[in-house]
Chain A
Amino acid sequence: MLLIDIEGIKSLNDLFLQIIKQNLSSDALQWLETKVELIKTEEKSIQLNLTFSHLPRLAGKQPIVLQAEDEAKIAQLLPGFSLKEWTADRLSRVWLLMQVPNENKEAYIKKISGLFIGSEMNEQIALYSTLPFLSYAEEWVSRCEDGIRSNIGTVLEAIMYHNPYPAHFLSEGAWNQLVLKAFFTDKDVNHIVGLNERSNQALTDTLSDYVQERLAAHRTVNPEIYKLIEQKNQTI
């Protein structure tokens, strides 16, 4: 059950590089391309780890400038996904991870997993943003579930907003946790890919309980919860 096929990944890869070229200085771009060559050939993860950490210093953290036609192409290649409001370092990091050689499954998983350990806040954001583009997609489900347990709002948003991975790969239980956590942490659930499609009875039951709990506490209820419950009821 592929989220996106090899051709699609390749197109996105080229498109991302093109956008990076428009948003990075020529020095930063040259540095990145040199590093990628080293990363493609190294056995260990030294260059990968260093490049991944160093990237913001070269790429900068300014929001990327995005052409409307590129935006449209991306939406077509990977529905739900969007680079809107991404920064240059985030996109560069995601693209960098797409260059990690994936022929050897064990080595690949070890390299990517190594980046999660001891990752800095913005590194975590980039790592979770890369989930839809990682090889061996099913292998990252527990990482994704871990990320949903994070209390760092920006990390949660990297998983929840415009990220098609969770809806495609998470079990019902994990998906429901994502949605509940989104409501609990006041996220804008309209950015969640697959919110309506993956709605289910267990989720709406829990959400109904949550509504009662809020009302009993004299707290406000996010109108999106009612919409989700209602939408589910109509499909039954």
Chain B
Amino acid sequence: MCCNDNFQERNEGEKIQTSLDLNDISGMKFFDPHVHMTSRTTDDYQAMADAGIVALIEPAFWLGQPRTGVDSFTDYYSSLIGWERFRSSQFGIKHYCTIGLNSREANNEKLAEQVMEVLPNFIFKEGVVGIGEIGFDDQTAAEEKYFRLQLELAKESGLPVQIHTPHRDKKKGTQRSMDIAIEHGLSPYSVIIDHNNEETVKEVLDRGFWAAFTIYPFTKMGNERMVEVVKQYGSERVMINSAADWGISDPLAVPKTAALMKKSGISLTDIELVSYRNAITAFAQSGQIDENDFLSVKTIDQSQKFESNSILRGGQQPRVDKNSIIIS
């Protein structure tokens, strides 16, 4: 999330709506391994499905407003495996999630203790593909404590870990996160280091971890920079995501970046790896991702949506014409 926006400046900007041209990547399929759909509208789901996103991972995170009781966490985790999963299915997008205690709220130690107690109730649920997003924010002692406890939980349960790296003091925070993961005996191959940039990527890849990049305007990676990263470091263990949330972010960041990569002459094989395949390979180590689940959803979606199929029963969302002033 970005903060301290100057809304006057933003709202005064030219209001020109151009239509998005994604023809270059038409027919390709994408996997967004980090997107907070809880904070997005159904319009976004529709746009994502239209742009070729077939599956996504929603990591548990800070909701923008600190929670004051453990039941709020229980309900949030429940919504990630319940209501949000259904909402997504209505657009033919397979919804997975990672479950964890985020770094900010780890600083409320009394509450963090209680959250740690409920986590085991969720991490073995269907479609939970990892512990995440966990790691450092301020890099306090409390953050480190719960980061370590959750790494142990990941080790015991054999789940991948999705690590949020801090905005401030990023390079050291990233190094420290990797050091601690190694110290706890986790294989770097089961750990996805998120929100990388040009300064962190080399060490992350050299040490054998997965390097995820968040394409997010103003505060994280821009996709032109991302193209250069892929040109320099290749596609092995590299993946991109949108981390779209309540901030000014873009749920189409993955397909848009794929389109830009194609324009920039990056091979289709590399594009497929960073925008689809690598995320599946990394998180399928949970044993919870079956590619057929979303490939078959796609076909059923288009051909048999009124058949009472067990996957999509419950209704597809009817499409509305956003450019019509008529609302019926």
Residues of A within 8 A of B (CB): 49-50, 53-54, 56-57, 61, 63, 85-87, 117-124, 151-157, 185-186, 188
Whether a CB of chain A sits under 8 angstroms from the CB of B225 is no
Task: Using A120-B126, A121-B82, A154-B313 as known contacts, list a sample of 17 further A-B pairs with CB atoms less than 8 Å apart, ordered by residue number in A.
Answer: A53-B125, A85-B310, A87-B310, A117-B78, A118-B78, A119-B81, A120-B82, A120-B125, A121-B81, A121-B86, A124-B82, A151-B83, A151-B86, A154-B310, A155-B314, A185-B315, A188-B308
In the complex the two chains form, is A154's CB within 8 Å of B86's CB?
A: yes
Minimum C-beta distance from B156 to chain A (A): 13
Residues of chain A within 8 A of B293, CB atoms compared: 61
Q: How far, in whole Å, are A98 and B162 apart by their CA atoms in the complex?
A: 37
- How far apart sit A170 and B37, CA to CA, in the bound complex (Å)? 35
Q: With CB as the reference atom, state the residue of chain A lying closest to B122.
A: A118
Q: Is B127 an interface residue (CB 8 A)?
A: yes
Find the A residue at minimum CB distance from B81.
Answer: A120
Q: Contact: A57 with B121, CB < 8 Å? A: no
Q: Is B124 an interface residue (CB 8 A)?
A: yes
- How many of chain B's residues touch chain A, expressed as a range? 20 to 34
Considering only residues 284-300 of chain B, those with a C-beta below 8 Å from chain A are: 287-288, 293
Alpha-carbon distance A71/B315, docked complex (angstroms) = 27
Task: Name the residue among A53, A87, A151 with the largest chain B CB count within 10 angstroms.
Answer: A53
- In angstroms, how far is the closest chain A Cβ from the Cβ of B160? 16
Could you say which of B78, B83, B126 contacts A53, with CB atoms under 8 Å apart? B126
Answer whether A153 and B315 are a contact pair too, CB < 8 Å, given A121-B81, A121-B82, A124-B82. Answer: yes
B314 touches A154 (CB 8 A): yes
Asked if B195 is at the interface of the complex by the 8 Å CB criterion, the answer is no
Could you say which residues of chain B place their CB within 8 Å of the CB of A152? 82-83, 86, 314
Known: A120-B82, A121-B82, A151-B83. A54 touches B124 (CB 8 A): yes
